[in-house]
């Protein structure tokens, strides 16, 4: 089932998410909906708060970027109850976009390496190090479950320049191909 995507202005995107019980009877269908919604909107990743659930879950499928980034081959995963343990390496900038911030793309600086623990949909536990573009995509999605958005990483001036666009998004005045929920 395709769910509407929360956009800038929704308080749900600003709440820190809580751990999820993977044995909950509704969890599997929720996860399926999260995948469906991400693919429908042509996203590389989608976090639960973006479909109005404040739980620590996100999905990523960046395998379509394999040509530009061979390391992304088969990078398709559900991350359940993830915790970033440490972030290290050099800061580097990369142009990011977000399904909750349609029409906005900006260069965002982040550290290049993360160590993270998480479970997959079969309840397998992982303690893994990611770097480069994989770390980048994870950090973006992880921000969502912490109540953050990529624009929070911009300097105040850059952020200010986006005011008009952000206002338009929060009123639903954007042309996009997927379903959004306009904040009240």
Taking the complex as a whole, how short is the minimal distance between the CB of residue 69 and Zn ion, in angstroms? 18
User: Is residue 65 helix, strand or coil?
Assistant: helix
Q: Would you say 130 or 150 has its CB closer to Zn ion? A: 150
Instruction: List contacts with Zn ion (CB under 5 A).
Output: 98
Indicate the residue among 31 and 59 with the shorter CB distance to Zn ion: 59
Residue positions annotated with a catalytic role: 141
Closest separation between CB of residue 138 and Zn ion, Å?
A: 12
Nearer to Zn ion, 12 or 98 (CB): 98
Q: How far is the CB of 97 from Zn ion (least distance, A)?
A: 8
């Amino acid at each position: 089932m395709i769910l509407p995507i929360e956009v800038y202005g929704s308080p749900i995107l600003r709440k820190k998410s809580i751990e999820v019980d993977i044995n909950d009877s509704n969890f599997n269908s929720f996860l399926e909906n999260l995948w469906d919604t991400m693919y429908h909107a042509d996203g590389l990743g989608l976090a639960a708060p973006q479909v109005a659930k404040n739980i620590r879950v996100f999905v990523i499928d960046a395998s379509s970027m394999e040509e530009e980034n061979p390391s992304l081959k088969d990078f398709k995963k559900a991350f359940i109850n993830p915790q970033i343990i440490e972030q290290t390496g050099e800061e580097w900038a990369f142009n990011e976009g977000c399904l909750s911030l349609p029409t906005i793309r900006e260069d965002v600086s982040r550290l290049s390496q993360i160590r993270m623990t998480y479970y997959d949909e079969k309840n397998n536990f992982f303690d893994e190090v990611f770097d480069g573009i994989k770390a980048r995509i994870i950090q973006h999605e992880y921000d969502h479950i912490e109540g953050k958005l990529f624009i929070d990483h911009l300097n105040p001036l850059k952020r200010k320049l986006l005011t008009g666009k952000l206002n338009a998004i929060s009123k639903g005045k954007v042309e996009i191909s997927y379903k959004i929920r306009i904040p009240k």
